[in-house]
Amino acid sequence: MSVPVLVCGRHREIAEKMKAMFAPHGYDYKYICTSEQEFRDTFTPLSHKDRPKVILVGGGFDDNAANEIKAHADGVPVVCVPAQLMQEQGPPAVMKWLLEELNKLNLKQ
């Protein structure tokens, strides 16, 4: 069974590429949001059974936006990608870092 994920990424095309990279690792991007408002519009009406197990916030969101997402996450863990990681090392490094962070959360139980 895959772990449902909500991704907040400013660049949908990057999020879509990352989605394909994560699928073999048991993570399923159920929702991709490109703004704080889209996140609220998508996440808030979800029932608890339909909510993702984790929210990933891409490096394109500044600290204020990431904090706003965290404030509305209703207890769902939020993992924020450091902006410089994508800029300096690219998607493979982000994937490696995220998988390490996700493994720490033990979401596949």
pLDDT at 91: 82
pTM for the model: 0.93
pLDDT, tens digit, for every residue of 45-81?
999 889 999 999 998 899 999 999 999 999 999 999 9
Cα 99 → chain centroid: 11
Torsion of CA 85, 86, 89, 91, to 10 degrees: 130
Torsion of CA 93, 97, 100, 106, to 10 degrees: -120
Q: How far apart are the C-alpha atoms of 4 and 23, rounded to whole Å?
A: 10
pLDDT, tens digit, for every residue of 73-105?
999 999 999 988 888 998 889 899 999 999 999
